[in-house]
Structure 1
Amino acid sequence: MERQVHEKIKAFILKHHLISRGDELVLGVSGGADSMMLLYYFFTHKEEYGITLKVAHIHHGIRKAASLDAQLVESVCKEYHIPFFRHDCDIKKLAKERKISEEEAGREERYNFFISLLNTNGKIVTAHNMNDQAETMLMRFVRGTDIKGLAGILPKRDRIIRPLLCLTRDEIEAYCKEQAISYRDDETNFKPIYTRNKVRLECIPYIKEHLNPAIVTVLGKHSNLYREEDEFLVAHTKELFNQSATQDETSILLDEKMMRSFHVYMQKRVILMAIESLINRKNITSKHVESCLELLSLQTGKEVHLPYGLIARRDYQGIRLMKASQEATYCTQLQEGMQFIKEAKLEVEIRRIDKERISQNNENIYTKYIDYGKIKNELQIRTRRASDFISLPGGSKKLKKLFTDDKISRAKRDTLPLIVDGNEVVWIIGNRLNSNYYITDDTEEALEIKIRTLRE
């Protein structure tokens, strides 16, 4: 048993390149069979791998017996001469404050603590096993997921490694018994009070008895297949994303023509990649992605509200994804000379000149000349307001109507910079100039306004 387990773990570590010589491993040890076996294994193999160890333990404050768990882990660390770090927290209180489940709060607190102990060549090691993998895959499948979700718990993600994914819980408990490794059972693991517990205690035993006795190992093997497929699809999705996406500081536009040329499955993956580029993927489901995809069949202006304040909107050119919070407003007074407008990421240069010095050759969408004598107030630069209008040769027009006629996307309308004279729009930068401020034969002095776009 001992040799077989050791060979499995070593082969898994080598296959997935989990450890390098000189690594300092931060072991997450709760006191249960999985983590105590993890601690024992690396203590007895640290010279072979050329690694150093430290142990992190979280006291969640949920169970009365939690202090005994901490005592066990600390005593073993003293015996092994391994540095022991303990973090006490009130998970119930944290979950309530953060408005998340106790499971999620516990996970966040654990990983934040583990990360705080990392050095430059450190890695976090958790004791997830093949049963955890099977439970995760079943939960994700029932809730709805993609191939990436079915890949389950990854052997390695960033600086987190999981070398026990190659072992079942039965193998771990048998190993602990054979090696006389002390551990403590968390009584809450045997109560169907959490979703994962229900899957562990009710779903998997039923499948084992009635459908497939080897369900745990079958799902463990399939997670590897799904991961390989996902790696291929991610690379292909990136190619299609680069072909179809135009990204600026506030949004991502997916071109309709390019999107329609893709297979519907790849359309969904491209949309998901766009979402991932803007927000954390958590809580984004296949239903959200399909809602975004349906926008291609809807009229311009229709939108879908997603988690974390993300908006998907049908644009003239396709689907635009943006954060609602990015539709910020500002209003800044302009002065002669050079001025940087942080909110708009623009540099504005204003100077008064004689009419005779106006060079029509220099005038373009970012350089305009206006009649200085027509200015009634201090000029300002700002975003639009509901009552805004602009005077044009054919008469005045509300900006809302103008933007619709000019097919300016809704995403840009709220961020498009305007130069205004009191309540009157003088210039929609990069677009229309108010005809009331045109240079005429009666103009004596002009104002030259130059705009330069700055990129971060």
Structure 2
Amino acid sequence: MALLAKLCDKKVIVAHVNYHKRDTADRDEQIVRNFCDQHHLPLFVYAPKQEKAGNFQSWARQVRYDFFVELALKYHIDTIYVAHQKDDLLETYFFQKQRHMLCETYGLKTESMYKGIRICRPLLGLGKRECMQYCLDHGIPFGIDESNLKDDYTRNQIRHSLVDTLSEDQKEEWLHTIEKENREWNTKREQISLFLDTWDRSVDSLPDWLFLEEWLFQFTQKRFSKKECMDLMKQLQSDTLIDLGDYDLESYHKKLYLQKKKKPVFIQLTSLKYGQYEGFSIEKTGRKIEGITLYPKDFPITIRNVQAGDKIEMVWGTKKIHRIFIDRKIPRILRKNWLVVENSKKRIIFVPKIGCDVQHFSVKPNAFMIQ
């Protein structure tokens, strides 16, 4: 409410999320409604429901910020103001340290980005008591979140056992420590980035786990713990394919490959149609290796991912496609998304970057498939 009062003379819209998890949740919503009515501020209230079991705090944060971004995009707003204050910053820092988290920033930043929208935290210079006193001094109604008084969540435990016990001088000392740690971490990250700019993805040339973590973060935007990275470093010493959720990570002949997982491709064409498709294109011109001559009897053709047992008859004989991959030292991570063209008789007639079968080769191909 302190933040809302400070911004009420500006052109803003107000967003409130009511999870209905507390007995006083509706009371807090009504406080916001009354204030917005009094100051003629547009208010948008969202009451989400958690459909699946899981970490409530993590889910609540995501739906809250997604709601803010949805409103920002709809009403052409470039900045979202949130009411984090000094005690929240300290609480976040101690939480990160307790979990041994590797973060882009320790604590909270005055400004950050979320899905392309600027997040601004103008109250980080004030403590919780100062915000409450501001409301009391200016006659601004506010509610106490009774769930914060319990130790149900790790953050609450940190708040009660650590942050609330600190004097103002001690809090300032911790803020200086956090600032110093962030400066040192940013310097280290700059050194890592310079290394990664010219890195050849060789496993053996990685100085330590931090370099692997930063490389993974640059692609996945997900932070990995020291333990996770140390375990990965051990696995990556030999050829292996590792599932990282939305991504695959592979060590192949001492080189690292990282690729976002893709949906399987299965497209049928009843006639030759040039154009862009999901994962490939069919063009009128191209390189010799991309060319194929398609005949009416080939249709319908199917473009799909390569499967175990697929083989193709080339001018030098018939061979399993996976054997060709192995002979050409193509990493498994790339093979997973490799496509083939199958004709109406279920015969593989073309493989991108490998070529067409012997019966569909000509000096004037009528199609070029590019993957």
Alignment TM class, shorter chain as reference: 0.7 to 0.9
Structure 1 residues 138 and 145, CA, compared in 2 at 3 Å: closer, same or farther? same
Q: Aligned letter for 2:256?
A: I
Secondary structure of the structure 2 residue equivalent to 1:271:
helix
Deviation at 1:297, TM superposition (A): 0.7
Q: From 92, 108, 118, give the equivalent of 2:62.
A: 108
1:297 matched residue in structure 2: 237
**Partner Cα separation in structure 1 for residue 124 and residue 360 of structure 2:** 73
**Partner Cα separation in structure 1 for residue 148 and residue 289 of structure 2:** 66
2:216 matched residue in structure 1: 271
Percent identity over paired residues: 20
Cα contact 1:272–1:289 (8 A) shared by 2:
no
Q: Aligned letter for 2:3?
A: L
Q: From 327, 339, 344, give the equivalent of 2:274.
A: 339
Structure 1 residues 348 and 420, CA, compared in 2 at 3 Å: closer, same or farther? farther
Q: Does 1:138 align with 2:94?
A: yes
**Partner Cα separation in structure 2 for residue 424 and residue 71 of structure 1:** 68
2:108 matched residue in structure 1: 153
2:45 matched residue in structure 1: 87
Deviation at 1:237, TM superposition (A): 4.7
Give unpaired runs (5+ residues) of structure 1: 1-35, 245-254, 351-361, 440-444
**Partner Cα separation in structure 2 for residue 240 and residue 333 of structure 1:** 46
Aligned residues: 362
1:384 matched residue in structure 2: 306
Q: Aligned letter for 2:351?
A: I
Structure 1 residues 381 and 238, CA, compared in 2 at 3 Å: closer, same or farther? farther
Deviation at 1:87, TM superposition (A): 1.2
Structure 1 residues 368 and 222, CA, compared in 2 at 3 Å: closer, same or farther? same
**TM-score when scaled to structure 2?**
0.80
Deviation at 1:343, TM superposition (A): 3.0
Cα contact 1:389–1:396 (8 A) shared by 2:
yes
Give unpaired runs (5+ residues) of structure 2: none
Q: From 327, 351, 365, give the equivalent of 2:289.
A: 365
Secondary structure of the structure 2 residue equivalent to 1:148:
coil
Deviation at 1:318, TM superposition (A): 1.9
1:313 matched residue in structure 2: 250
Deviation at 1:198, TM superposition (A): 1.3
Q: Aligned letter for 1:111?
A: Y
The C-alpha deviation readout for 1:237-282, integer Å capped at 9, x for no partner, is 55544434xxxxxxxxxx433x644532333312221222xxxx27
Q: Does 1:430 align with 2:368?
A: no
Secondary structure of the structure 2 residue equivalent to 1:146:
coil
**Partner Cα separation in structure 2 for residue 56 and residue 431 of structure 1:** 55
Q: Aligned letter for 1:220?
A: L
Secondary structure of the structure 1 residue equivalent to 2:104:
helix
Deviation at 1:186, TM superposition (A): 1.4
Structure 1 residues 377 and 405, CA, compared in 2 at 3 Å: closer, same or farther? same
1:38 matched residue in structure 2: 3
**Partner Cα separation in structure 1 for residue 302 and residue 70 of structure 2:** 45
Deviation at 1:236, TM superposition (A): 4.9
2:84 matched residue in structure 1: 128
Secondary structure of the structure 2 residue equivalent to 1:303:
strand
**Partner Cα separation in structure 1 for residue 79 and residue 351 of structure 2:** 53
Structure 1 residues 334 and 183, CA, compared in 2 at 3 Å: closer, same or farther? closer
Secondary structure of the structure 2 residue equivalent to 1:57:
strand
**Partner Cα separation in structure 2 for residue 78 and residue 418 of structure 1:** 63
1:400 matched residue in structure 2: 322
Q: Does 1:72 align with 2:31?
A: yes
Q: Does 1:220 align with 2:175?
A: yes
**Partner Cα separation in structure 1 for residue 77 and residue 300 of structure 2:** 56
Q: Aligned letter for 2:45?
A: H
Q: Aligned letter for 1:389?
A: K
**Partner Cα separation in structure 1 for residue 31 and residue 315 of structure 2:** 84
Deviation at 1:200, TM superposition (A): 0.9
Structure 1 residues 379 and 404, CA, compared in 2 at 3 Å: closer, same or farther? farther
**Partner Cα separation in structure 2 for residue 88 and residue 341 of structure 1:** 40
Q: Aligned letter for 2:328?
A: D
CA RMSD of aligned residues (A): 3.6
Structure 1 residues 214 and 333, CA, compared in 2 at 3 Å: closer, same or farther? same
Q: Aligned letter for 1:140?
A: Q
Q: Does 1:328 align with 2:264?
A: yes
Cα contact 1:322–1:411 (8 A) shared by 2:
yes
Structure 1 residues 115 and 82, CA, compared in 2 at 3 Å: closer, same or farther? farther
Cα contact 2:85–2:123 (8 A) shared by 1:
yes
